[in-house]
Amino acid sequence: MTQTTDKLSTHVSVKEAEMAEVLAKIVRDKYQWVEARKQTQPLDEFKAALTATDRSFYDALSGEQTVFITECKKASPSKGLIRDEFDLDYIASVYNNHANAISVLTDEKYFQGDFEFLPKVRSIAKQPILCKDFMVDTYQVYLARHYSADAILLMLSVLDDEEYQALAKVAHSLNMGVLTEVSNEEELHRAVALNAKVIGINNRNLRDLSTDLNRTKELAPLIRELAPNAIVISESGIYTHQQVRDLSTFSDGFLIGSSLMAEKNLELAVRKVTLGENKVCGLTHSDDAAKAYQAGAVFGGLIFVEASKRHVDIEAARLTMSGAPLNYVGVFQNHSVADVTNTASELGLFAVQLHGDESQAYVDELKQSLPEGVEIWKAYGVASGAESALPELLESNVTRHLLDTKVGSQTGGTGQAFDWSLINNQSAIMLAGGLNPENANQAAKLGCLGLDLNSGVESAPGKKDADKLQRAFAAIRNY
């Protein structure tokens, strides 16, 4: 064993007492990796050619809106393999449309990462690229910049103050940003004393790898008090838009990796977490489906009710669906179980939405009849006048409940909103009725699963307006 390795072993063993077993092993292995990499790729071979980055990590995370650092992560120690088809071209192209910055895992042994991933992602995406690794040596900072990284992660659970300052100094000399990660109050105070510009609160307990989103709620106010100009990022355990909405009053943004990487359709997964699971209903043409998709919708609604001004038959629905890869929802009203099942099967619908007087018995029968995996949504009319009251919701086999405005005997398509203060269980609710660019932001703040837009984003019945759609989704994203 060399003298250097002896020194490293002693240095790490002192820290191990305060680290979780997994983290301690990762850090020990990282010191060995660094020494080996210095031999195969010596610093003096590339240091002189390094230039400062022209993509500011700090600028990218500044501004009024909530920011997102989306992550390229193939595997992790806690979850194992997360994304088998790790297509960086696809991942980077999706993130390019949504992220403020992009994190790339480069640790090889535990995350199946690679420094070669950095330039590949950067060549596709316009955002600053964060090299996410267990940084323990200034060599790694230089190496990250050599591979085109614009920022690095520094973990205060791994580094002491002197080490942190040395690594941060190198990063800033190359105009690279630093995401300073803390996991408890003691590390938070250190981050503040070290003048960290971006502080990431890790919601994961590094001892048992559990996650607790309350950590952001507990630590963020203290950062606001002690370092009001610092940018606060919530990391780990973020899966839904409702969690994002809940935590957005505490943090300036989020770093999200595993929950996105686990989803096959990454584009829709990013939309769900950043915008919510929103639907544009009453689609009658492929162009309108494309407009809805481009604006940010996850679901597209096809109305099979003949009395509707936006009625489509199966062929028209098929043509409409060809316009964009939305998750399509068929809207039915007092149709027979056979009709609903046949339509869902023929078109490959994601869900069927029942807009009539369908009972629990009907829903139970339909569930048995539908192809496996097709969801059932149930719509309920809520009066818009003085008689406003929430109806009783069905109890089983309904994935989502949709609340829409009822005027007289008509539910839906009224262009009017009901009293939203009546809603008391947003977790399974889709909100419809009178939604438009002017009230979409207020509606989104309610914390429902998603909004269902229709007449408020049209230029005429059945004709979607691209400008209204863009403005409505911009309003939804404005938080």
Residues acting as catalytic residues = 71, 73, 132, 181, 202, 235-236
434 DSSP assignment: S
Q: Tokens 């691209």: give the residue.
A: 466
Q: Tokens 């992790």: give the residue.
A: 76
Measured distance CA(66)–CA(89) in Å, rounded: 26
255 DSSP assignment: E
Measured distance CA(306)–CA(324) in Å, rounded: 24
Q: For residue 131, give Cα distances in angstroms to 139, 207, 249.
A: 13, 24, 27
Cβ atoms < 10 Å from Cβ of 78: 15
Q: Directed axis angle between helix 161-173 and helix 138-146, to 10°?
A: 30
Beta strands in 299-396 (DSSP E): 299-303, 327-332, 351-354, 375-383
Question: Do the strands 80-81 and 75-76 form a parallel or antiparallel pair, or are they unpaired?
Answer: antiparallel
Question: Do the strands 327-332 and 351-354 form a parallel or antiparallel pair, or are they unpaired?
Answer: parallel
Burial class (CB in 10 A: 0-12, 13-18, 19+), 219: buried
What residue type is 47 in one-letter code? Answer: K
Q: For residue 208, give Cα distances in angstroms to 126, 203, 211, 305.
A: 36, 12, 9, 53
Closest by alpha carbon to 125, among 175, 88, 176, 84? 88
Bridge partners, residue 451, by sequence: 431
Cβ atoms < 10 Å from Cβ of 308: 18
| CB-CB contact of 283 with 320 (8 Å) | yes
- 428: three-class secondary structure by DSSP: helix
| CB-CB contact of 139 with 131 (8 Å) | no
Rounded to 5 degrees, φ, ψ at 453 are: -100, 145
Q: Which helix (H) or strand (E) holds 350?
A: none
Beta strands in 271-374 (DSSP E): 279-280, 299-303, 327-332, 351-354
